[in-house]
Every structure is written in structure tokens, then in C-alpha cells.
Amino acid sequence: MSVEVKPISGFKTSNDLEVLDVHRHVPVNLRQSGDNGSRMLISQRMRKSPFWHLSQEAGCWCYEVYNHMYHPRAYVPWEEGGVLKEYEYLTEHVTLWNVAVERQIQVKGPDASKLVDLAITRPVEKVKVGKARYVILCNEEGGIINDPVLLRPNEDEFWFSLSDSDVSLWLQALNMTNKFDCTVREIDVAPVQIQGPKSTALMIDLFGERIHDVPYYGLLEGEVNGCPVIVSRTGFSGEAGYEIYLYDASINAERLWYHLLEAGKTHNLKVIAPGHIRRIEAGILSYGQDMDLETNPYQVGLAWQVDLNKSRFVGKEALARIKNEGVTSKLAGLKFGGKQIDWYPADYYIVYAENETKPVGYITSAFYSPTQGCNIGYAMLPNSFSTIGTQLEVHLPEPYAGGRVNAEVAETPFKPPEFPGTGLTQTGRKL
């Protein structure tokens, strides 16, 4: 079965694009329209991860490009439930994800902490040895460059576990211009994620009871089937979960993967794609969709990441100005009608005020939520339309509607994550 999404017409005029992108230098690609059955070329030009062939064995049938690498996006066939069935495995059992696209950029040397502290908006001293933290990097205008997990396996060593942008080049430039005594390079370490309510039970089988001593965003060194790994208690799902970072991944990929499949049998482990339905429910943002270089932390619920008391970091002056002046648009949660969105949107879904013809915003992420019983997503909206309870309309393409459906700005997270994290604890909401 193929997904048919017909192009939307009638509202993508130059004036509409101008209204929606008034504060951007490079417009959001609102003219993209549908999927006519295009096929991605799989070639040597794009990098395959150490787990590429293993994902194929597990039934992966759809990929996209992430960090210049092929990224699995679907395993369960349509006739067996598709991505919504994968959500069921994630929320009821335990799942294995190939997330090698989270390239590991190592900063190592006597000045490693100085370089990292300059690059991130939070104080580096809060990242103790044996810990990890969610961080963001901004440019000199306050735009978000990346939102990686930052690991500190040793006193003089950090790993940036990247979302989708070329941070290695950025860090190398900062290192060179500031003449720090450290190196910046990608290393042959590739992670997989173990996510779902039975994940801890599986991890006990792999590492013993000591896994209970690993706090949220804590690290554990160990071995799986003789392969050296670092484990972090993190993930992209909102469920209980862990990431296993495999050393010498190009050599050890099969030894780790097959052992995980065998150990997971008693827990009903399934290989699935990263769970975007659950991450939207949990208020977890995706770089390149919900934020990018032309959005700042104050627009996307990440103000808690910015410590203006730090003496120095890239973007500090711009972020201080933005905080003082305020933002005019922000990301907000939406619940909306239409048939169940059961596939990654191939269009921007445009947002309107009720009974108005001019668009006011666009949806950045969307899926059907089984727990909410409706379609949910995030939308970039003017402040005046971002208040919880505001009534709006969303234009959905066929087969989901072929026209406008009712929408309402909703509180996030739609479904709380298993661990609330610093941002939710401090602010009481995600956006």
C-alpha cells in the first residue's frame, strides 16, 4: 500500500509566503507539495551507518537523510498497522532503534571544557564526569544550530550526540579561532536506543541490577557480548529508555545488534523507527522541523536552556536582546480534526484564524495521537494566536481532509513523558 497525498492548491501565493516568513532570511519551504511516489536514490555518495544492513534485515522499507546518513523511518508494513503499530510496541513493550545518525563529535584535550562552554548556552560545569545533559548551541544571532545530548565520559573529553546539522565544522571553527588546546573529530561510535516500558527489564538482563543506579541523564560504562559500550539513560520517546553507544561500531555492529535481538525476545522486543508520535505527545522537539537556525530558544520553549549569567558563550548578546524585546511568534501545541494522520507529512499544513482567508502560521510536526484520540502537532504562530484554547483552522491535504478542519491551541506535553526533565519541572509546560 502506498500513501497518496495530493498537492494542495489555492493558497500558496507569494503574498501568503511573505506573511508567514516575514521574520526569516531563508523562507520556510512552504511551496513543497505532496509525494507523487518519488523514490530516494541509495548510493555510495551518502553514508550508510554500521547498522544499515541490520535495519534492512529487520524489515525497514523507508528512509530519509539525516546528518548526511540514511535514517530508518518505517519497519512495520502498512497491512500490519504501519507506524501506528510501531507506536503500540513502543508504549506497551520495548523497542530497538537504529539511531547511528546521531553522529558522535568528540572534543578532547586540556581545553575541551573551555571550547564546550563557549559553544553551549548552559554552564559546562553542570555536566559532570559520567553524566550527560541536553544542550543547545546558538549562533551569534541567537539562532539554534543544534540540540544534542552532551556526554562527558572523562574529565577532558565530551561527546556531542548530534541532531541534524554540521556541528563538527562549527566546533572546529571555534576551536581554531580561539586557539584552544583540544581536538574536534567524529569518532567511530554509533548509538542504538532501547525504548519502552520494558526497557529497564531488558537492560537488567544486559547489565545487571547496577542499571538501577544510573540516574536520568547518567552514564554507565560496560560491555554487551564483549563489545565496549557507554549507556545513557536518555531517549527520544518520552517513554522509559536508554541509549547504548557502541565503540568501534564499524566492527562491532553485528555482535551488538544480534545479541540485543536475542536478549529482547523474552520482553517482546521489536525493531522500529524513532517514535515520532510519542515524541510529539511528550513535547520533544525535532531539529529541522520544529526549530532551526532561524528560530531562537525563546520561540520554542527552550528559554530554560539559556543562562545569561554565564560570562561568555556564542549568541549571549543576541539572546539577551531577544529576551528583553520579546518574540512575536512562537511554537504552540495544536489538537485538530481530520482523518488520522498516519504518515510523515509531505506538505506544510497551513493554519488560519477561524473564517479568515490569510494564513497565520504553519504546522511543523503532526501525527495522530492514540492517547488524545485526534491529530496533534506543533505550529509556529503569532503570539496573539498562541494562547491555550484559541480556536483555529488547519488546511489538511487529502487523504486526511482535502480542506480545512477545526483546531485548538492545546497545553503541552499532550501526554507527560516518563521522566519530566529540567525544562518541564521548571516551567510546568513544554511550549
The dotted CATH code for 1-37+328-431 is: 2.40.30.110
Rounded Cα distance between 431 and 417, Å, is: 14
Mean pLDDT of all residues in the chain?
93
What are 362-421's pLDDT values in tens digits? Answer: 999 999 999 999 999 999 999 999 999 999 999 999 999 999 999 999 999 999 988 888
Numbered residues of the known binding site for substrate: 243
For 224-228, 295-299, 354-358, which range has the lowest pLDDT when averaged over its residues? 354-358
pTM: predicted TM-score of the whole model, two decimal places: 0.94
β-bridge pairing 137-138 and 144-146: antiparallel
One CATH from 1.20.1180.10, 3.20.20.120, 3.50.50.60, 3.30.1360.120 for 189-267: 3.30.1360.120
Q: Which pLDDT does position 19 carry in this prediction?
A: 62
What are 129-154's pLDDT values in tens digits? Answer: 999 999 999 999 999 999 999 999 99
What are 77-95's pLDDT values in tens digits? Answer: 999 999 999 999 999 999 9
Numbered residues of the known binding site: 243
Percent of the chain with pLDDT over 90: 85
* Sequence spans of domains, the chain: 1-37+328-431, 189-267
Residue 8 has which C-alpha cell? 494542495
Q: Which pLDDT does position 21 carry in this prediction?
A: 64
Q: Which pLDDT does position 209 carry in this prediction?
A: 97
Query: Between the CA of residue 57 and those of 51, 133, 192, what are the distances in Å?
Result: 10, 33, 16
* Residue 16 predicted with pLDDT over 70: no
HSE-up (13 A, CA, CB side) for residue 338? 30
**What mean pLDDT is predicted for residues 296-304?**
97
Confidence of residue 17 (pLDDT cuts 50, 70, 90): low
What are 218-229's pLDDT values in tens digits? Answer: 999 999 999 999
